[in-house]
Amino acid sequence: MFYTDNKLQFPVRVDSPDPLFARALQQAIGGVEGEIRVAMQYFFQACGARGDVRFRDLLMNTAAEELGHIEMLATAVALNLEGAPLALQEEGARDKAVEAVMGGMNLKNLLSAGMSAMPVDSDGVPFNMSHIYASGNIAADMTANIAAESTGRILAVRLYNMTPDAGMKEMLSYLIARDTMHQNQWMAALEELGGARGVFPIPNSFPQEQENQDFSYAYLGFQADGSAPAPGRWSEGPSVDGKGTFVTQPMGALGEQPDLGPAKPNSGAQVEQM
């Protein structure tokens, strides 16, 4: 169940409306790094969370917060569109109208939404939920969430550096801070699940003796001359999960050349394939 008090989570103020920046903000709403993505990701992870109820609570509370972020950004888009290109009373507004066209305003915001935000990215492509990761494995989901918040924070920082508007910087500074918290809370959740040595490899419920352990911790080199790839922490020494030792080895072909057999009759193949 969700509730609203019709107020924004954090103040949204636009000092100088900028239709081009409104288009950029759409990426933070409906882009693959955006708030629709994380809100739906945490929501569906919460709906499928089994076991310790605290993790479901953590996910659902954060999903509700992200819905509030969508509301903030949608308000920011609308405020940035106000005064251009429809308000033509003043010369400055007329200039804004020209800037909106020449500067690349997404006309969908005008033509389809009446100067409002839409569930689309900065190119007007609708968000289609293809980037929602809810595996049913709490550790895998928390790991995916760290990546989601990291790319979201990168986007917010880029938007912060793109605008000179003090009001927009204030809003984005808040969103960047929340991304910092969310990265840390997901890492804290992984720590509570057992950290690297308790969580990995995911799923930790699969017996490792049933996997081909010759390759469990081997860093494979695919250089044509058989030389070793550049070394790193991942190429030698104890594995991060504490369950093996990294080794480096060249990888030769262990299988045979694939032979799929002749094509089926009436399959549309050439005679030479049958």
Q: Enumerate domains of the chain plus CATH numbers.
A: 19-198 (1.20.1260.10), 207-252 (no CATH)
- pLDDT of 192 reads 97
Beta bridge partners of 126: 120
Numbered residues of the known binding site: 35, 57, 66, 69, 149, 182
Cβ count within 10 A of residue 192: 15
Q: Can you give the pTM of this predicted structure? A: 0.87
Nearest to 81 by CA among 134, 24, 151: 24
Each residue's pLDDT, cut to its tens digit, for the chain (274 residues) gives 788 999 999 999 999 999 889 999 999 999 999 999 999 999 999 999 999 999 999 999 999 999 999 999 999 999 998 855 454 334 444 555 545 544 567 777 777 777 788 889 998 899 999 989 999 999 999 999 999 999 999 999 999 999 999 999 999 999 999 999 999 999 999 999 999 999 999 999 999 999 999 999 999 999 988 888 999 999 999 999 999 999 999 998 899 999 999 999 999 999 999 9
Residue 114 CA to chain centroid, in angstroms? 28
- pLDDT of 97 reads 52
Nearest to 106 by CA among 88, 120, 87, 127: 120
- pLDDT of 89 reads 36
- pLDDT of 253 reads 86
Report whether 7 contacts 101 (CB < 8 A).
Answer: no
User: And the tokens for 108?
Assistant: 């969908």
- pLDDT of 248 reads 96
Numbered residues of the known binding site for Mn(2+): 35, 66, 69, 149, 182
Distance (Å, rounded) from C-alpha 163 to C-alpha 24? Answer: 10
Numbered residues of the known binding site for Ca(2+): 57
Tell me 56's DSSP state.
H
